[in-house]
């Protein structure tokens, strides 16, 4: 069963087509990564899936429903949520306050953000569960502006998880992270994929190859290739268009299951 499906999806701005006739099916319950060189159309593709852009032509389906023209907030309510390459958190609020705002918004109680919370209510229960899920228990009372870059990335994912997504689109969650932090984030994303459908745009190829079930390759707005990490590595088209002459070796444990 597919979580997301596109048919001939395209968007054009003047003479530029950042996404050009892309038809894909993204399987539910799997981790699908989208890769490609800068300017390949990856973020534009995300924007079309989530409603930030309206397509010039083509359709988007989510859980079998045509959601092409559905507004962003309705897609979020339906279970389709994303993060952004540029961090979107409230810097002056604590971790707890940021996530409470997201949880209360889903409960229709955003106007009460700064009122005394019910410590035993459903909002607080969900708040605690999300904070634990994104591994920020010890940072609960820390303002977002005082967090490390890696912890801020976890917080942004927490804001998305607070919407209770069925499918989570992550736009370069490892951007700005060092090698170790990227590895930790990769493990975390892989864990999330055990619970919900994850679609990942990322440039850290070693991490992408080690955690993905399926990889889609975009080039100049078009779908160049799709397959398992091993199949993508072996593709001459991908090597020519994206990987170049170098080769990223699959970690043995993932290669054995590819």
* pLDDT beyond 70 at 250: no
Residues in the chain: 258
pLDDT in tens, 34-57: 998 888 899 999 999 999 999 999
Domain end among 164, 199, 229: 164
Number of helical (H) and strand (E) elements in the chain, helices listed first: 10, 10
State the Cα–Cα distance between residues 173 and 177, nearest whole angstrom: 9
Q: Are residues 184 and 254 in the same domain?
A: yes
Rounded to 5°, the CA angle 161-25-214 comes to 75
* Confidence category of residue 252, pLDDT binned at 50, 70, 90: very low
Average pLDDT over residues 187-201: 95
pLDDT in tens, 65-81: 999 999 998 999 999 99
Domain end among 134, 164, 194: 164
Q: Which long-range contacts (CB under 8 A, 24 or more apart) does 52-57 make?
A: 53/11, 54/11, 55/9, 55/10, 55/11, 55/19, 56/10, 56/11, 56/12, 57/8, 57/9, 57/10
Per DSSP, which regions of the chain are E strands?
Answer: 2-13, 16-27, 31-35, 57-62, 65-66, 80-82, 167-171, 197-201, 214-219, 222-227
Rounded to 5°, the CA angle 130-134-140 comes to 75
Q: Are residues 152 and 177 in the same domain?
A: no
Q: What are 214's strand-pairing partners?
A: 32
pTM recorded for the entire structure: 0.85
Q: Within a domain: residue 85? A: no
pLDDT in tens, 69-114: 999 989 999 999 998 766 678 899 999 999 998 888 777 655 455 5
CATH of the domain at 254: 3.40.50.300
Residue 210 is predicted with a pLDDT of: 94
Q: Which domain holds residue 102?
A: 90-164
Domain end among 164, 184, 203: 164
Task: Give the burial class of 249: count Cβ atoms within 10 A of its Cβ; 0-12 exposed, 13-18 middle, 19 or more buried.
Answer: exposed
**Closest of 104, 251, 124, 111 to residue 186, by C-alpha:** 251
Q: Which residue has the tokens 């989510």?
A: 62
- Estimate the share of the chain in helix, then strand, then coil, as percent rounded to the nearest 5: 40, 25, 35
**Closest of 158, 150, 161, 227 to residue 196, by C-alpha:** 161
Strand, coil or helix: what is 37?
Answer: coil
Q: Are residues 48 and 117 in the same domain?
A: no
Report the percent of the chain where pLDDT is more than 90: 68
Q: Within a domain: residue 227? A: yes
Taking phi first (over 0 means left), then psi (-120 to 50 degrees means alpha), and beta for anything else, what does residue 42 get? alpha
């Amino acid at each position: 069963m597919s979580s997301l499906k596109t048919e001939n999806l395209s968007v054009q701005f003047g003479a530029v087509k950042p996404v050009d006739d892309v038809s894909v099916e993204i399987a539910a319950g799997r981790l699908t990564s989208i890769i490609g060189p800068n300017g390949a159309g990856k973020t534009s593709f995300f924007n079309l899936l989530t409603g930030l852009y309206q397509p010039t032509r083509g359709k988007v389906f989510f859980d079998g429903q045509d959601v092409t023209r559905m507004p962003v907030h309705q897609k979020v309510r339906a279970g389709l949520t994303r993060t952004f390459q540029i961090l979107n958190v409230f810097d002056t609020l604590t971790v707890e306050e940021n996530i409470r705002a997201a949880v209360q918004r889903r409960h229709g109680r955003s106007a009460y953000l700064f009122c005394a919370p019910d410590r035993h209510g459903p909002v607080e229960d969900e708040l605690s569960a999300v904070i634990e899920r994104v591994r920020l228990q010890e940072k609960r009372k820390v303002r977002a502006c005082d967090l490390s870059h890696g912890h801020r990335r976890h917080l942004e994912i927490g804001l998305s998880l607070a919407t209770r997504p069925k499918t989570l689109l992550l736009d370069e969650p490892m951007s700005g992270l060092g090698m170790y932090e990227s590895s930790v984030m990769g493990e975390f994303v892989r864990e999330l994929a055990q619970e919900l459908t994850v679609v990942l745009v990322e440039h850290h190829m070693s991490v992408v190859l080690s955690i993905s079930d399926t990889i889609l390759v975009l080039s100049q707005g078009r779908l160049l290739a799709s397959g398992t990490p091993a199949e993508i590595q072996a593709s001459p088209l991908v090597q020519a268009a994206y990987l170049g002459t170098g080769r990223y070796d699959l970690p043995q444990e993932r290669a054995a299951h590819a």
